[in-house]
Structure 1
Amino acid sequence: MSHDHTAPPTASVAVDTVILTVPADELVVLLVRRANPPYQGEWALPGGFLEADEDLDDAAARELREETGLRPGEVHLEQFRGYGAPGRDPRGRVVSIAYLALVPSPPTATAGGDAADVGWLPVAEVLAGGTGTAFDHRTIVEDAVEHARRMLEHTTVAAAFCPPEFTISQLRRVYEIVWGETLDPGNFHRKVTRIPDFLVATGESTTRDGGRPAALFRRGTATRLQPPLYRAVDRSASARGQRRSTGR
């Protein structure tokens, strides 16, 4: 067996964290304004280079803690994709591992390190190009949002956007904001309350949604939705595929 003794190419490893939340009927993402080159003055995802004694998950947790004061046990945090295209960073070859964090409300964030400013920006504005973003971070945000949308179809993670106790209307609004579509209240209520261990009734109610008192729920032990909840766009795509396959 032959062995290649050529030294591996030099590359740096970084982590970038897409932190999403849904205050005031809008999906927003936490971005920091870069104080230093490259892309000085432009918005970027919270992130940084992997330290010598640190694992990837530890680096993502550190960035989350430094930017929001939150810890992984308090929010949903998961790795969702890697980015390593040549030229994505003008300083040299950098491979970035992207994480997605879902938080129930926007924590107060303060600029630190090499950040000149920090803020919660509307995702729609970022994806439309209305906000100048550094590196390939607009693409990473776009991928993270699509990942979150698919997660809502198959997992119980939508509750991560909600407070510890919430109404069905609050949960439905999370789906509507993240998916970008209006859902029928009655149909949604029937579906989510029939999924085993998705929601647990607290026995309490609230009038904070207005109108009649609404029952309060908390997140159950389930992590997967059985059956799944699908977006209208996915149902349409599936139907088109079925018509093509049957020749209709």
Structure 2
Amino acid sequence: MSPYDPSAFPPFAVTVDLVVLTVRRHALCALAVRRGESPFQGRWALPGGFVRPDEDLSSAAARELIEETGLCAHDPDSPVQANGAHLEQLATYGDPKRDPRMRVVSVAHLALAPDLPAPRAGGDANSARWAPVDALLAQGGYGREGEQATPLAFDHAQILSDGVERARSKIEYSSLATAFCPPEFTVGELRRVYEAVWGVALDPRNFHRKVTGTPGFLVPTGGTTTRQGGRPAQLFRAGGATLLNPPMLRPDV
């Protein structure tokens, strides 16, 4: 049996790309960074970076998340923490031509978090911002006001589209929508998460009946808030259920 010769195989790199979603001003938004270096210098992209030799994939994704957002990833089987974000592996992208530098395989991850402050740029990015998903995926490309619209760098439009669809489908049958909410939230705030992610308007009374009647979905805290204006609204936190029975089915649009 001949010994294994690493030099007989072409080298390639592994990266992690992050689809970081949040709800801002009742719209589903993703974290976008403008590249400060080649390739695709000046184009908007998803945050991410190369996996270090001493890292596994989940560690690399968690490191990139905290570098780009200041958020620590939490165990998806544990309650959401105030400074935590849901983080899960999304898919692997390995088209030989996806990166003009060399053969690069990207393992994309999806992160969901409550509304966050303005992001800070890091690594090879010269600016970062929260942008509406619809604008990032617009047919003519994305650009800030006064700048030319261009498609997202690499294959990031496809990765973003896949991440959005994953989020839209998962909040149907899981309690993942609460990852977009603060530790204590109202039913109205949770409804606006569903409306933003699905892109539809929901009937408030039917929604309230469904979410409060689903075992283990929401737990009353005993407190109220007037941050939405009007009468005090009851506050809830995420319950222990991870799967919803019955599910919250997405309306046909």
* Same fold, TM-score > 0.5, yes or no: yes
Aligned AA (1:26): A
Deviation at 1:11, TM superposition (A): 1.9
State the shift of 1:5 in Å. Answer: 5.6
Number of equivalenced pairs: 233
> Secondary structure, in 3 states, of the residue corresponding to 1:75?
strand
- 1:80 is displaced (CA, Å) by 1.1
Question: What is the CA–CA distance in structure 1 between the aligned matches of 2:2 and 2:194, rounded to whole Å?
Answer: 53
Q: Which has the higher helix share?
A: 1
CA distance in 2, matches of 1:215, 1:195: 17
| Residue from 68, 76, 95 that aligns with 2:105 | 95
Q: Match of 1:32? A: 33
Pair 1:198 & 2:203 matched: no
Paired residue for 2:16? 15
2:70 corresponding residue in structure 1? 69
- 1:145 is displaced (CA, Å) by 0.3
TM-score (norm 2): 0.88
The separation in 1 between residues aligned to 2:193 and 2:22, in whole angstroms, is 9
Aligned partner of residue 189 in structure 1, secondary structure: helix
User: Percentage identity across aligned positions?
Assistant: 58
Q: Deviations over 1:146-166 (max 9, x none)?
A: 000011001101001111111
Q: Distance in 1 between matches of 2:165 and 2:186?
A: 25
1:85 is aligned to: 95
- Mean CA deviation greater in 122-131 or 78-87: 122-131
Confirm or deny that 1:154 pairs with 2:173.
Answer: yes
Secondary structure at the aligned position of 1:147 is classed as helix
> Partners of 1:3 and 1:22 in 2: how far apart?
56
> Does 2:163 match 1:144?
yes
Letter in 1 for 2:66: R
The 8 Å contact of residues 118 and 129 in structure 2, kept in 1 or not, is answered as no
Matches within 5 A, 1:1-248: 7-73=8-74, 74-129=84-139, 130-131=141-142, 132=150, 133-233=152-252
Mapped contact 2:17–2:49 kept (Cα < 8 A): yes
Matches of 2:102 and 2:126, distance apart in 1: 23
Q: Secondary structure at the match of 1:217?
A: strand
> How far apart are the structure 2 equivalents of 1:3 and 1:13?
27
Give the partner amino acid of 2:15: A
Mapped to 2, the partners of 1:4 and 1:140 lie a distance apart of 38
Deviation of 1:3 (Å) = 7.9
Q: CA deviation at 1:4?
A: 9.8
Please report how far the alpha carbon of residue 107 of structure 1 lies from its aligned counterpart in structure 2 after TM superposition.
3.2
5+ residue gaps, structure 2, are 75-83, 143-149
Write the distance in 2 (CA, Å) between the matches of 1:176 and 1:141: 19
Give the aligned CA root-mean-square deviation in angstroms: 1.6
Question: Which amino acid is 1:94 matched to?
Answer: V
Gaps of 5+ in 1: 237-248
